């Protein structure tokens, strides 16, 4: 049994992770800490567990084996390295750190403490991604030439009674977030394209502030991969919920549009579309992989390379967006 503490309810997925932990027979939620004491006390009461206002006291508790960290993203390095120094295993929400150097310092702290670190990158466990990877690896698309991935929702679209949409207000502020749509929702298309297309060579990005939020409410990234393939990564908080993944190669095309999966290849089925192919079963969730590693020593499929390359693309995109664009005269 893994006794855990929940560290902050700041992130929009904190409740989801708390629910998953409470439903896992190998996890027992024992306590809550939050940088916002009132929010933390309310959460602890809802979950019927104790609230600890002193983070060091919580982490010093030898009966707590691990923590789920959903603090502001800008606090990840400080909180995660502190938890590691107390010998706690750590589960957190993307992104791991705001810079590659932050990620490396986190890895060093985790290695020194010999604890497990997991980042929730859920689409890497999905059957549709596993199938796309299989089709690509089997050469059915030939040489990959272009990849496009989009994840979007309408969380920042104003509506009556909520001028900032259904996302919490702090998600659209510079303080704490490290960014907006790209660093949060855009993580999904970034880590998927990283896995499928390989090493990123160059990145160019543009961010939008359509509703004048402090952080980007939509963004587009153009990536060039070491293989020569090009990638288009799209995300936003201001359009209808939608997921799309396109792989284009010299011998075929692979398309995912929400739940619809289809592909065609000159090498199979006379080059005709194959619709609704049988997909592999999903892998265990990121949290279950974390538990399996801690309790049974099973190597997770989500890796440190996934974590650090996610931050790397975000860091390069942010630097690119800050460069002034050239206009013709």
- Is there a cis peptide before residue 95, judged by omega within 30 degrees of 0? yes
CATH number for the domain running over 2-120: 3.40.50.720
Beta bridge partners of 231: 147, 223
- Pull the structure tokens for residue 114: 């010999």
Return the CATH fold of 123-283.
Dihydrodipicolinate Reductase; domain 2 (3.30.360)
pLDDT reported for residue 161: 85
3-state secondary structure of 71: coil
- For 252-282, the pLDDT digits (tens) are 999 999 989 999 999 999 999 999 999 999 9
Distance CA 20, CA 15 (A): 9
Phi-psi group of 228: left, alpha or beta (phi > 0 → left; psi -120 to 50 → alpha; rest → beta): left
3-state secondary structure of 170: helix
In the chain, domain spans: 2-120, 123-283
Residues near 296 by Cβ (< 8 Å), separated by ≥ 6? none
- Pull the structure tokens for residue 307: 């974590």
- For 91-140, the pLDDT digits (tens) are 999 999 999 999 999 999 999 999 999 999 999 999 999 999 999 999 99
- For 142-190, the pLDDT digits (tens) are 999 999 999 999 999 999 888 889 999 999 999 999 999 999 999 999 9
* 205 pLDDT more than 50: yes
Beta strands in 238-305 (DSSP E): 242-249, 252-257, 260-265, 274-275
Distance CA 244, CA 197 (A): 16
């Amino acid at each position: 049994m893994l006794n855990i503490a929940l560290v902050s309810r700041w992130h929009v997925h904190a409740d989801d992770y708390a629910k998953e932990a409470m439903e896992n027979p190998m996890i027992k939620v024992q306590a809550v800490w939050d940088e916002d004491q009132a929010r933390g006390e309310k959460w602890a009461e809802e979950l019927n567990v104790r609230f600890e206002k002193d983070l060091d006291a919580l982490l010093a508790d030898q009966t707590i084996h691990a923590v789920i960290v959903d603090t502001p993203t800008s606090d990840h390095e400080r909180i995660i390295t502190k938890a590691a120094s107390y010998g706690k295993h750590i589960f957190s929400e993307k992104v791991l750190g705001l810079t590659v150097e932050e990620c490396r310092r986190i890895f060093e702290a985790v290695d020194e403490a010999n604890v497990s670190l997991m980042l929730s990158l859920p689409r890497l466990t999905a059957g549709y991604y596993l199938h796309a990877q299989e089709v690509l690896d089997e050469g059915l698309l030939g040489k990959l030439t272009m990849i496009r991935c989009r994840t979007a929702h309408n969380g920042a679209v104003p509506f009556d009674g909520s001028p900032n949409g259904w996302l919490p207000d702090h998600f659209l502020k510079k303080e704490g977030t490290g960014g907006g749509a790209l660093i949060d929702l855009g993580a999904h298309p970034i880590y998927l394209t990283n896995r499928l297309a390989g090493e990123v060579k160059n990145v160019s990005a543009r961010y939008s502030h359509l509703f004048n939020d402090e952080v980007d409410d939509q963004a587009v990234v153009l990536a060039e991969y070491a293989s020569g393939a090009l990638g288009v990564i799209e995300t936003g908080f201001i359009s209808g919920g939608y997921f799309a993944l396109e792989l284009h190669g010299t011998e075929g095309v692979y398309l995912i549009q929400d739940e619809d999966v289809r592909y065609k290849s000159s090498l199979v089925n006379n080059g005709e579309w194959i619709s609704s192919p049988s997909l592999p079963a999903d892998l265990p969730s990121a949290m279950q992989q974390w538990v399996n590693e801690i309790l049974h020593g099973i190597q997770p499929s989500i890796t440190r390379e996934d974590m650090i390359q996610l931050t790397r693309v975000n860091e390069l995109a942010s630097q690119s967006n800050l460069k002034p664009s050239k206009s013709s005269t």
